[in-house]
Amino acid sequence: MLHRRPFPILGAGVLSLLVLLAGVLGAGVAHSAPAMPEGPALLPTATAYPTSTPYPTETAYPTSSPWPSATYPAATATLSPTPAGPPPGTPGIIAGGPGDQAAPRTDGNYVVFEDNSAGTWAILARDLSAPNAVFPIYRGAADARHPAISGNLVVWQDYRNGDWDIYGAYLTGDQAGPSFAIFTGPGDQVNPAVSGSVVVWQSTLITRADIVAEDLSNRQPFIVSNNTTTNLNPAIDGPNVVWQSQVPTMTLGSRVGTPAGVGQWDILGYDLQAGHAFTVSQSIGDKTNPAINGQVVAWQVYSTTQALWHIAGADLSTSTEFTVTTDLTSNQMLPAIVGDTIAYQDDGDQTGDAPFRHGRWGILALNRITRVRQRVSDALTDATRAAISTHRVVWNQATFAGDLDVYGTVCSTSYADVHPSDYFYGPVGWFACSGMLSGYACGGAGEPCDPANDSYFRPYTNITRGQLAKLIVLARSWPIDTTGGPHFTDVPPTSPFYGFVETAYNHGAISGYSDGTFRPGADVTRGQLTKIIVTAQGWSIDTIGGPHFTDVPPAAPFYGFVETAYNHGVISGYADGTFRPGSTATRGQITKIVYGALNQP
């Protein structure tokens, strides 16, 4: 019996496999709620900040200015689509109805947001892998706002105690566990962000605003920000916390071209693993609302020469700053980032100005490496406050009635031979929506057409080495690089796989045989697949607990790669304890394994 069911994949919309490989976890492991902590009266303070920045200074921006006013000059951005850029997607509603559904955040298949349809603000969620339904995380007599999510942990600011505190809850499927207090000390605790088990937020525990971090595994909150200035809007990914920090008046006055006493904002950070503070950017001009993914930080920066807000950023791994949107003659604000793709709101989508919430702001996304920019939302009403994950971009979409709904990039693809019960169903849907894998037209032998003429994916057929090289390159958005080529005698420049094989080789993701061939038409084995995945991910070899399979002993050539992939949770073996590294890998297996790798750090 043939089945037809659209894949509920929202957000194959503007991302690439490179984005995924940059390390955003798609799902977490269920946890029980930790006990309510005893809020400390005074938090310890992190180490002092360096007096200078390791980053080269980019183009200087003069002093700060108020936020953009209600109308703007007309401007139109020129956008260039590309097959290797963010995957296609159609904007679609995630949550709507009476009142506002606002401030969305997303991770894995979850989208969380705040909702005031019942009068007070509540925290709701939708599990996009489950039936089309929204479920409550917390709804009480007092407001709960500004949710954030990592895996299955949701955190938010909560007013149930008469001031703003930080609360959280764990999700299992489309159910939320009981809410629990994370920090209920004196003063207001607002703007939480979360990565793994670590929660950060903005606190007025003392008289100014500080940034506080707490790992829920040890419940030891402490101040990570500079304890002499105002610090706002924290963001976190992995061990790195970043935020905007007000520049002290004395420091500001010493900056060339900056009048004394004029307030400005820098981007600072703290490495929780190394236990030291660092400076992200001290270039002239206000820098606010930072976002971080891996080692890449993005923020909005103001230019008085243009009277516009733009998006800029820094790569912490190379200590370099970069620009994102200074080429545009419009405002860009509130960046969100995953991998090398940065989403933001832009007021240059429409021709001319329009009333507030009616045609001013759209959501755009740009790959900072390829410089490809794509329009995500181009509706006649405002699209604002983008959030991004490995699966999707979500945002607030204004209605003509004036309230807000949550929208996201939607993809609906179906195959006659891929069913919801198949272990590769979700990954196949994502790759199909991303445009990295396609199906075969119905009507061939043994592949009759159903009423919808769904194509076939053929998940149990093998995939070749050439096809896998192409998949890796497209997925990681690597620009084609044939430097030094051809490296293999059987992949000449006329081969359809030449550019992909050479690019993967130059990135160290593949190798050939001792006779100088690559054998692009040969089927990929399970052992070869683990080597390519581990190498492309840049994972260090990890054989802890090995050997895990009876047929992959320490002397096996693929032992280190198989064990590493196993310890990252992206492969499993058979019931008899074997891995069968010499068996060929099917299209279904490869989508599951590669997709699993993409959701690992």
Using CA atoms, how far residue 536 sits from 322, 340, 419, 594, 598, in Å, is: 25, 16, 29, 10, 10
pTM of the model: 0.60
Length of the chain: 601
User: CATH number of 9-411: 3.90.800.10, 3.30.450.40, 2.120.10.30, 3.40.718.10?
Assistant: 2.120.10.30
Out of 55-59, 218-222, 262-266, 493-497, least confident range: 55-59
Higher pLDDT, 207 or 588: 588
Angle (CA) 45 49 50, round 5°: 160
Residue 474 banded pLDDT, cuts 50, 70, 90:
confident
Residue 579 banded pLDDT, cuts 50, 70, 90:
very high
Angle (CA) 549 552 555, round 5°: 140
pLDDT, tens digit (0-9, with 9 covering 90-100), for 37-48: 333 333 444 433
- Cβ proximity of 377 and 383 under 8 Å: yes
Q: What token pair was written down for 443?
A: 């009507």
Residue 355 banded pLDDT, cuts 50, 70, 90:
very low
Reply yes or no on whether the pLDDT at 146 is more than 90: yes
For residue 554, what pLDDT is reported?
95
225: DSSP letter: S
Q: What token pair was written down for 455?
A: 């194509």
Element (H, E) at 176: strand 175-176
Q: Which of 151, 152, 156, 180 is nearest to 166 (CA)?
A: 156
Backbone angles phi, psi at 485, to 5 degrees: -80, 165
Averaged over 94-120, what is the pLDDT?
92
Angle (CA) 264 269 273, round 5°: 170
Q: Which residue has the tokens 């959280």?
A: 168
* Alpha helix segments (H runs only) across 15-82: 17-21
Higher pLDDT, 1 or 364: 364
294: DSSP letter: T
Backbone angles phi, psi at 236, to 5 degrees: -145, 145
Cis peptide upstream of residue 547 (ω within 30 degrees of 0) = yes
Averaged over 572-601, what is the pLDDT?
85
| Distance between CA atoms of residues 369 and 351, nearest Å | 28
Residue 259 banded pLDDT, cuts 50, 70, 90:
very low
For CA atoms 541, 547, 552, 556, the dihedral sign is: positive
pLDDT, tens digit (0-9, with 9 covering 90-100), for 367-389: 787 777 778 886 778 899 999 98
| Distance between CA atoms of residues 590 and 469, nearest Å | 12
Higher pLDDT, 34 or 511: 511
Highest mean pLDDT among 93-102, 204-213, 342-351, 474-483: 93-102
| CA 55 centroid distance within chain | 24
| Distance between CA atoms of residues 158 and 163, nearest Å | 8
Residue 527 banded pLDDT, cuts 50, 70, 90:
very high
Reply yes or no on whether the pLDDT at 155 is more than 50: yes
Averaged over 110-125, what is the pLDDT?
95
Higher pLDDT, 598 or 209: 209
For residue 438, what pLDDT is reported?
78
Averaged over 98-111, what is the pLDDT?
91
Amino acid identity at 249: T
Reply yes or no on whether the pLDDT at 525 is more than 50: yes
Helix then strand then coil, % of the chain, to nearest 5: 10, 30, 55
Domain spans, the chain: 9-411, 448-598
Count other C-beta atoms under 10 Å from residue 278's C-beta: 18
For residue 283, what pLDDT is reported?
77
For residue 89, what pLDDT is reported?
53
Element (H, E) at 356: none
Q: Which residue has the tokens 């236990």?
A: 275
Reply yes or no on whether the pLDDT at 154 is more than 80: yes
SS3 593: helix
Reply yes or no on whether the pLDDT at 71 is more than 50: no
Residue 35 banded pLDDT, cuts 50, 70, 90:
very low
Count other C-beta atoms under 10 Å from residue 29's C-beta: 9
Long-range contacts formed by 64-68: CB under 8 A, 24+ apart: 64/262, 64/263, 64/264, 64/265, 64/285, 64/286, 64/302, 64/304, 65/286, 65/302, 65/304, 65/307, 67/309, 68/308, 68/309, 68/331, 68/347
Mean pLDDT, the chain, as a whole number?
78
| Distance between CA atoms of residues 165 and 183, nearest Å | 6
Count other C-beta atoms under 10 Å from residue 353's C-beta: 15
Residue 51 banded pLDDT, cuts 50, 70, 90:
very low
Reply yes or no on whether the pLDDT at 216 is more than 70: yes
Q: Which of 397, 420, 416, 417 is nearest to 407 (CA)?
A: 397
For residue 226, what pLDDT is reported?
78
204: DSSP letter: -
Averaged over 81-94, what is the pLDDT?
50
For residue 378, what pLDDT is reported?
67
For residue 13, what pLDDT is reported?
29
For residue 90, what pLDDT is reported?
60
**For the chain, percent of residues with pLDDT exceeding 70:** 77
Helices (H) and strands (E) in the chain, counts: 8, 30
For residue 426, what pLDDT is reported?
73
| Distance between CA atoms of residues 78 and 298, nearest Å | 22
Q: Which residue has the tokens 């299955």?
A: 152
Reply yes or no on whether the pLDDT at 85 is more than 70: no
Q: What would you report as the CA-atom Rg of the chain, rounded to the nearest whole angstrom?
A: 25
Residue 412 banded pLDDT, cuts 50, 70, 90:
low
Averaged over 401-416, what is the pLDDT?
81
In the sheet that holds 110-115, the strands lie side by side as 101-107, 110-115, 122-127, 134-138
Averaged over 209-219, what is the pLDDT?
93
